[in-house]
Amino acid sequence: MKRVLVKKRSHDVVVAPPEQLKQRVTTGSQPNDSASHRQVLERLKAVLEEINGWSMPIGAVGTAFLDCLELTDQIREKARECARQMLLKEPGLIPGWTAAKSGPVRELDKDARKVFTALQSALATPPTTSEFIGACRITLTGARQLLSDLDPFLAPEAAEAQLSRALADLIHYRKGSVRLTRVKEIAI
């Protein structure tokens, strides 16, 4: 029986015969049995409810658990992309799901001078400089870029220090979030 090799980081893992890879995960014997799919869905919903009572595995098991979740996210994204493409070609192929292409999103040129000049020349009552500035949204990155444009020889560290001094009372910090990041590969 032919087996399919799946490359997993630094070593090969024998997964399953190709015909088994084509089957869907179900609790029943038929891959497209809707009752079996409903059972799997209900069990996954129950697992989701139970997670609040779990204690997170630690050590090598915790590492393996989080690695599995990362791989599951990748599988989820690939499956969703495949479903999107299928549903775009044949709507109704997967009952209860649809895919639609969004229209183009309008974006304004990032060059404020160009926008200001265009408004000045196009409008019967053009905005004043003060009105235009009031309608603009400045970012810390934009202010840093402005300093660099005004003095191209200013080192990035000096620009940051100057920016921090000049805008000390105007820089606000929002609460940060906790990111979970894989830092290195370990042998399990």
Longest dimension (CA), the chain: 79
What does the pLDDT look like over 85-126, one tens digit per residue?
999 999 888 888 899 888 899 998 888 889 999 999 998 998
Per the prediction, the chain carries an average pLDDT of: 80
- Burial class from Cβ neighbours inside 10 Å (0-12, 13-18, 19+) for residue 147 reads middle
- Give CA–CA dist 139/31, Å, rounded: 53
Tell me: pLDDT of 181 over 80: no
Closest to 94 (Cα-Cα) out of 46, 151, 37: 37
What does the pLDDT look like over 152-171, one tens digit per residue?
898 989 989 999 999 888 88
- Global pTM reads 0.52
In angstroms, the first-to-last Cα distance of the chain is 29
